[in-house]
Amino acid sequence: MAYTIAVAGKGGVGKTTVAGLVVRYLVEKGLSPVLAVDADSNSNLNEVLGLALPGTLGQAREDMKKGQSQGMTKNLFIEMRVNQCLAESQGFDLIAMGRPEGAGCYCAANHLLTECMDNLADNYKYLVVDNEAGMEHISRVTTQSVDLFLVISDPSRRSLQAAARVSQLAKDMGVLGGSAHLILSMVRSEPSPEMLSLIKEMGMELAGTVPDDEQLAAYDLAGTPTSTLPPDNPVRQAVFAVMDRLLAPAQG
């Protein structure tokens, strides 16, 4: 079974950038194969990783719901469409959830999709899931529990409150089988004692900080995949250092 890393946080805090760098970390550390799953309805993990999306799981579910199985059983059709949605790269593959479903019941399609995703994920050492602010999508994509949960927040109080809520939501939903950690992004100085106290009061464990960075902003503006930031970039270095610490027990 794949070791599952989930990344979550409210929009605009650098969540997808961190997820892309986690994928890059795993590949460069020789921990391939990795399956990256974009479970955010506003799919852009492919842009961070520099891949084109051949399709989404949402489209596959829509096709099955509309009866476009072309004479195949529903199971075979969903399995075929899941594989068609897979974008392949060196050391990792990517699959995207796509936009939320429309009106009507998707229970049967979601069930088949989850089964196929679980079978697919078992072919990988690591599963990296980029989530929305909520955690509902991860339970729709895979039944595998989360071994490492990274909650991303900027240094504002409102963002920290959102991070605390999503961390609690993961626990309440029963998808968290391992540990949860907070990463502060876009920081311009070390966290103050007051902020560290607030984080502790909210029941979160700070794993590290990621600095605000002009090179990252320039990459993003130019449409350059931010997962390709150079080794001396402080954002990349910060994420890699966090992963070194958090994954040491799993690798040891």
All structural domains of the chain, each given as residue ranges with its CATH number in brackets, are 3-251 (3.40.50.300)
**What residue type is 48 in one-letter code?**
V
Signed CA dihedral, 135, 140, 145, 148: sign only? negative
Token duo for residue 37: 């799953």
Q: How confident is the model at residue 219 (pLDDT cuts 50, 70, 90)?
A: very high
pLDDT of residue 105: 54
pLDDT band at 172 (very low <50, low <70, confident <90, very high): confident
Contacts of 1 (CB under 8 A, 6+ apart): 121, 122, 144
Strand runs (DSSP E) across 60-205, as ranges?
Answer: 87-88, 92-96, 126-130, 146-153, 176-187
Name the more confident of 205 and 173.
205
Q: Is the pTM of this model over 0.85?
A: yes
Q: Which residue has the higher pLDDT, 26 or 116?
A: 26
Alpha-carbon distance of 16 to 11, in angstroms, equals: 9
pLDDT at 87 over 80: yes
What amino acid occupies position 30? G
pLDDT band at 93 (very low <50, low <70, confident <90, very high): very high
- Average pLDDT score, the chain: 87
Strands (E), the chain: 3-8, 34-38, 87-88, 92-96, 126-130, 146-153, 176-187, 206-211
**Res. 116: pLDDT tops 90:** no
Cβ neighbours for 166, distance < 8 A, ≥ 6 positions apart = 8, 9, 10, 133, 134, 135, 151
Instruction: Name the percent of the chain lying above pLDDT 90.
Output: 53
Share of the chain above pLDDT 70, in %: 86
pLDDT at 201 over 70: yes
Residue 150 confidence (pLDDT): 95
